[in-house]
Amino acid sequence: MPDTPAVVATPRSRVRVPLRFHDGYEADTEVVTFHGLADGREHVAVILGEPGPVPLVRLHSECLTGDVFGSARCDCGPQLREAVERIAERGGVLLYLRQEGRGIGLYNKLDAYALQDEGLDTYEANAALGLPEDARDYTAASQMLRALGIGELELLSNNPDKADQLRSLGIDVRDRVPTGVFTTAHNVRYLRAKVLQTQHTLPLAALAELNAG
136 annotated active-site? yes
- Which of 73, 136, 146, 192 is catalytic? The answer is 136
60 marked among binding-site residues: yes
101 marked among binding-site residues: yes
4 marked among binding-site residues: no
Q: Whole-angstrom Cα distance, residue 131 to residue 159?
A: 20
Beta strands in the chain (DSSP E): 10-20, 26-35, 44-48, 56-61, 92-97, 152-156, 172-177
76 marked among binding-site residues: yes
62 marked among binding-site residues: yes
73 and 65 Cβ atoms separated by less than 8 Å: yes
- Which of 134, 137, 161, 175 is catalytic? The answer is 134
72 and 184 Cβ atoms separated by less than 8 Å: yes
71 marked among binding-site residues: no
100 marked among binding-site residues: yes
Bridge partners of 20, per DSSP, are 26
Q: Following DSSP, what letter does each residue of 49-63 receive, concatenated?
A: S---SS-EEEEEE--
**Which residue positions form the known binding site?**
58-63, 74, 76, 79, 100-102, 122, 157, 162
**Which residue positions form the known binding site for Zn(2+)?**
63, 74, 76
Give the residue numbers annotated as catalytic, written as ranges. Answer: 134, 136
**Which residue positions form the known binding site for GTP?**
58-62, 79, 100-102, 122, 157, 162
